[in-house]
Amino acid sequence: MKFATLQDHTTDGRLLIVSRDLARCVEAGDLAPTLLHALQNWTAVEAALRDRYDALNAGAIEGRPFDPRDCAAPLPRGPQWCDGSAFLNHANLMEQAFGTPPIPDLQTIPLMYQGASDDFLGPHADMPLPSEADGIDFEGEFGVIVDAVPMGSSPRAALDSVRLLVQLNDWSLRALGPREMRTGFGFLQAKPSTSFAPVAVTPDELGDAWRDGRVQLELHVEWNGEHFGHPHGGEMHFGFGELIAHAARTRRLSAGTIIGTGTVSNASRAAGSACIAERRVIEMVDDGAARTAFMRFGDRVRMEARGPGAAAGAGPFGVIEQRVVAAGNAQ
């Protein structure tokens, strides 16, 4: 199944069922008014939602054209947002560039921070930020939305809790991050609102591209219309089962919790990058100095996950396409 949320100026929007080709949609409010409600009552509503999805794809329900510009994030707010760093190539590059000591247990214990989950942004929303001096950066990622997960769940059991897959942009302010990391209290100001592609999908929609607890797709990133990278999601060191189990080691997770991969990153330089900080680090390692600047107001970023060789516009999650603006100037 594929879901989106219609932005209707309420806190949680209205749930839409979207056709497999992302061409049409139909409201689902009589079954579940919001996606959060559906996740919290998954056993009760899944069959009816699937029947309507099948009818929409078969043409038994006409629906209406699907316009992602009318969409909020699939889940405009969630009980919890935990973001990992599952692509160790990214962490290793940072260590190499800055000469920092190796992170203890990096190969065996996932890195993860807890972010704000009360104000997720839609796929075409402007990104308002206070200052270009803060080091504005995008971070292309994949994520999962889970059902309730008991404390102490094994990675295998945790993976069974995955209900939906998402594509996201975990915006970062690089000038603020180092100080917050040194305090030992983690990110706050360095991590503004996260943005999401318009469509959340059940794992079966990806077919073979959902394998080993990983999204086996390329994440194509463009910055101001120029290709920036197309790293593959299959290179995660930790799969989603391990990430979810890590988050649930000492607490239970509520239905609707979102777990992210961290920046999609590949060892091959030919894949490019999914964030500016990584490109800058590669420049430092290869050439001795970073040349690429961070984003300026008016810059645009586009992200779309799709299979190798697939044409633009063919991705299962739709597209994130946003503009960075000075706070107070968002549309």
Residue-level pLDDT at 188: 82
What's the whole-number average pLDDT of the chain?
Answer: 94
Q: What is the pLDDT of residue 331?
A: 63
The pLDDT, as a whole number, for residue 97 is 59
The per-residue pLDDT for 316 is: 97
Tell me what pLDDT residue 99 has: 63
Burial class (CB in 10 A: 0-12, 13-18, 19+), 92: middle
Topology (CATH) of 73-326: Fumarylacetoacetate hydrolase; domain 2 (3.90.850)
pLDDT of residue 59: 97
Residue 328: per-residue pLDDT: 80
The pLDDT assigned to 265 comes to: 97
Residue 280 confidence (pLDDT): 95
**Cα 238 → chain centroid:** 16
Radius of gyration of the chain (CA): 19
Neighbour count for residue 294 (Cβ, 10 Å): 21
pLDDT of residue 194: 98
pLDDT of residue 252: 97
**The overall pTM is greater than 0.85:** yes
What integer pLDDT is reported at residue 79 of this predicted model?
96
Mean pLDDT by 10 residues, the chain (331 residues): 96 97 97 98 98 98 96 97 94 72 87 94 98 97 98 98 98 88 81 97 97 98 98 97 98 98 96 96 92 98 92 92 89 63
| Whether the Cβ atoms of residue 292 and residue 283 lie closer than 8 Å to each other | yes
Domain(s) labelled CATH 3.90.850.10 in the chain stretch across 73-326
Token reading at 207: 């077919």
Sign of torsion over alpha carbons 222, 229, 169, 278: negative
Tokens linked to 209: 């591209």
In angstroms, how far is the first alpha carbon of the chain from the final one? 31
Residue 123: DSSP 8-state: T
